[in-house]
Chain A
Amino acid sequence: KQEVTQIPAALSVPEGENLVLNCSFTDSAIYNLQWFRQDPGKGLTSLLLIQSSQREQTSGRLNASLDKSSGRSTLYIAASQPGDSATYLCAVRPDTGNQFYFGTGTSLTVIP
Chain B
Amino acid sequence: ETGVTQTPRHLVMGMTNKKSLKCEQHLGHNAMYWYKQSAKKPLELMFVYSLEERVENNSVPSRFSPECPNSSHLFLHLHTLQPEDSALYLCASSPDRRGPSGANVLTFGAGSRLTVL
A residues 62-112 touching B (CB-CB < 8 Å): 89, 91, 93, 97-100, 102-105
Contact check: which of A34, A43, A98 meets B31 at CB < 8 Å?
A: A98
Shortest beta-carbon distance from B83 to chain A in Å:
19
A residues 27-54 touching B (CB-CB < 8 Å): 31-32, 34, 36, 41-46, 49, 51
Tell whether A93 pairs with B31 under 8 Å between CB atoms, given A102-B42, A103-B42: no
Report the interface size class on chain B.
20 to 34
**How many pairs of A and B residues are in contact by the CB < 8 Å rule?**
62
B101 in the interface, Cβ–Cβ < 8 Å?
yes
A34 to B108, CA, bound (A): 12
B45 in the interface, Cβ–Cβ < 8 Å?
yes
B107 in the interface, Cβ–Cβ < 8 Å?
yes
Q: Which segment, of B14-22, B48-56, B58-66, B70-78, faces chain A?
A: B48-56
Report the interface size class on chain A.
20 to 34
Tell whether A41 pairs with B48 under 8 Å between CB atoms, given A49-B104, A49-B105: no
Contacts of B97 in A (CB 8 A): 31
B11 in the interface, Cβ–Cβ < 8 Å?
no
Contact check: which of A36, A89, A98 meets B94 at CB < 8 Å?
A: A98
**A interface residues (Cβ-Cβ under 8 A, vs B):** 4, 31-32, 34, 36, 41-46, 49, 51, 89, 91, 93, 97-100, 102-105
